[in-house]
A and B are shown apart, each in its own frame.
Chain A
Amino acid sequence: MNPSPILVLRDADTVGVAVVPLAAGMSVETAAGPLALRDDIPLGHKVALKDIAVDEIVLKLGFPVGAAKRGVKRGEHVHMHNLRSTYITNFSDRDDTSGGPRS
């Protein structure tokens, strides 16, 4: 069997990381079970491994990497639109910048 295209870094993690670009609608095997992708997941980006409630702390590599801005469904892309820092508001969260090039 091919290695999973979604890396689950620790058992407790609520997000996995795409190690190849993945398309919405795909169904992939992961260490946390089969996962139906609701969004495109570019290389290095995160996908929800379970339903995540608003304000729930998101775990990656077993560490908190932020809190959910809203409810997130299993298989959704997890990024700026649904995850916020619990430390310092990012430059790119503000309205006065595009935050540089986006692909």
Chain B
Amino acid sequence: MTGYLRQDGRKGIRNYVVVAYLVECAHHVARQVAAPFDARDVQLIGFPGCYINDYAHDMMRALCRHPNVGAVLLVSLGCEMFRREKLREEIAASGRPCEVLVIQENGGTARSIADGRAFVSNALTALAGVPRVPIGVADLVIGTECGGSDGTSLLTANPVIGAAVDHVVDGGGTAMFEELGELFGCEDHMASRAVTPELGGEILRAMRKTFRYYDALGHSSFGGGNITGGLTTIEEKSLGAYAKSGTRPIQGMIKPATTPPKPGLYLMDMVPDGEVRFGYPNINDTVTVVEMIACGCHMVLFSTGRGSVVGSAIAPIIKVCANPETYRKLPDDMDVDAGRILEGRGTIEGVGRETFELIRAVAAGAPSKSEALGHQEFLLGYKSFEKAGPACLPV
């Protein structure tokens, strides 16, 4: 198993050229720049807003300097507020080839697309020379997510992901879980797993913030498919979601776009701080997947009961299917058939080990199902965060 060595010492499992638009008005040009290239080489991301936002800048910087990314083309309309030159300098300082294409100063759409494609072609040649180095579980950062949960998620896919997460942590690697709005009822148990009482206190504080936030918005992170699938309340859904975190101690609580400072299990606090400002913290699963990837996740284990087919830009998604009926309907989209446990054809331990082995295979270059199908969903909006308190990070 080898990876791509980056200047900051992190190792990537992919070697992408990223094309990133800095406002929706540059999205079409960016998409056309990326279009002729293979998704195995070039990935498209971007921020749609015209107004400046610290969180969005931090996210774009972290994503453009992700270990799976080797070079970046920033596509700007020209009049948006995004600090494009600052971002370009931050990316260049990480040792990655980076250019800004400003459409208004570059002859418009057609010439910008042509120039952008020329940059990508040259970058792909340059990236072929990135040194390959051995990579192991201890180098990996693994995210966990659930989408389209149902009554089988708690019984199969979520504890299977928990078992795989335990293997990652035991192997010296890093894992994270998040979606605080889907951890109601688990507060005290989470706090008891924190490595220090102070971190436990911070987790409880974050959960009180989460309650206030969702209460002000008028509903919890709970939708129609959950109900069809047999889940009735947010605390019931949370039990299943929490099982993804496995059983190891919680080392720290990080905000989006924060690289975990040392290995172990982390909770990502994705609920904005302060008054309710920009709407729902997670309008869909992709928002929080992207936030975990901005924390350096090489891939994300994604549990689904109803059958989500999404993938992601920059980091592969591994689908762990909880429901045996769903697996039979969508076998081409699912990487792991955890629902078979309900039919007596597997155990949580066995399928957890299988999932861990799949992590290693995907790290070694094998595409996940959604990756091979070309999925590269991406979404980034507005949020505001305060700095994490000192008790949140391990020393």
Pick the contact of A46 from B151, B185, B224 — CB < 8 Å?
Answer: B151
Contact across chains for B151 and A45 when beta carbons are under 8 A apart: yes
Q: Please tell me which stretch of B92-100, B170-178, B215-223 contacts chain A, meaning at least 4 of its Cβ atoms lie within 8 angstroms of it.
A: B215-223
Q: Which B residues lie within 8 Å of A97 (CB)?
A: 224
What chain A residues lie within 8 Å of B220 (beta carbons)? Answer: 85, 87-91
> Are A86's CB and B323's CB within 8 A?
no
- State the 3 A-B residue pairs at the shortest beta-carbon distance, nearest first: A100-B224, A44-B151, A45-B230
Q: What's the Cα separation between A103 and B326 when bound, in Å?
A: 14
* A61-95 CB contacts (< 8 Å) to partner B: 61, 63-66, 78-80, 83-92, 94
Q: Is B378's beta carbon under 8 Å from chain A?
A: no
- Contact in complex: A88, B232 (CB < 8 Å): no
Selected contact of A7 from candidates B155, B222, B228, CB within 8 Å: B155
What's the least CB distance linking A70 to chain B, in Å?
14
Question: Most chain-B CB neighbours within 10 Å: which of A42, A90, A92?
Answer: A90
Q: Are B228 and A101 in contact (CB under 8 A)?
A: yes
Q: CA A65 – CA B239 in complex, angstroms?
A: 8
Interface flags for B207-242 (1: CB within 8 Å of A; 0: not) read 000010011001110111101111111111001000
Instruction: Flag whether B332 is at the interface (Cβ < 8 A).
Output: no
**Using a Cβ–Cβ cut-off of 8 Å, how many residues does chain A contribute to the interface with B?**
39
Q: Offer 6 A-B interface pairs, CB within 8 angstroms, sorted by A.
A: A17-B151, A17-B155, A64-B185, A65-B233, A65-B239, A90-B234
- What is the CA–CA distance of A96 and B236 in the complex, to the nearest angstrom? 23
A45 to chain B, nearest CB (A): 4
Q: Which single residue of chain B is at the shortest CB-CB distance from A79?
A: B232
Residue in chain A with minimal CB distance to B152: A44
Give the chain B neighbours of A20 by CB distance below 8 A. 342
Contact of A88 among B155, B214, B228, B229 (CB under 8 A): B214
Instruction: Find chain B residues with CB under 8 A from A80 CB.
Output: 227, 232
With beta carbons under 8 angstroms apart, the residue of B184, B224, B230, B232 that contacts A43 is B230
- A61 to chain B: which residues have CB within 8 Å? 154, 239
Instruction: Give the size of the chain B interface in residues (CB under 8 angstroms).
Output: 33
With A65-B232, A66-B235 in contact, do A92 and B223 touch (Cβ < 8 Å)? yes
Residues on B with C-beta less than 8 A from A46 are 151, 230, 232
Residues in chain B near residue A90, CB distance under 8 A? 219-220, 222, 233-234
A103 to B155: give the CA distance in the assembly, Å: 21
Contact B239 A60 (CB under 8 A): yes
Known: A3-B344, A101-B228. A87 touches B185 (CB 8 A): yes
Interface secondary structure of A, over-half rule: loop
Which residue in chain A gives the minimum CB-CB distance to B305?
A44
Assembled-state Cα–Cα distance A32/B315 (Å): 45
Question: Which residues in B have their C-beta under 8 angstroms from that of A91?
Answer: 218-220, 222-223
Check B337 for interface membership: any CB of A closer than 8 A: no
Please measure, in the bound complex, the distance between the C-alpha atom of A97 and the C-alpha atom of B325, giving whole angstroms: 27
Q: How far is the CA of A17 from the CA of B152 in the complex (A)?
A: 9
Contact A64 B223 (CB under 8 A): no
Contacts known (A46-B230, A65-B232, A87-B211); A100 close to B239, Cβ less than 8 A: no
CB contact under 8 A between A83 and B233, given known A92-B224, A100-B228: yes
* Contact partners of B228 in chain A: CB under 8 A: 100-103
B371 within 8 Å of A (CB atoms): no
B333 within 8 A of A: no
Contact of B234 among A9, A88, A94, A98 (CB under 8 A): A88
Q: Are B184 and A79 in contact (CB under 8 A)?
A: no
A3→B345 CA distance, assembly (Å)? 12
Once bound together, how far apart are the Cα atoms of A98 and B225, in whole Å? Answer: 11
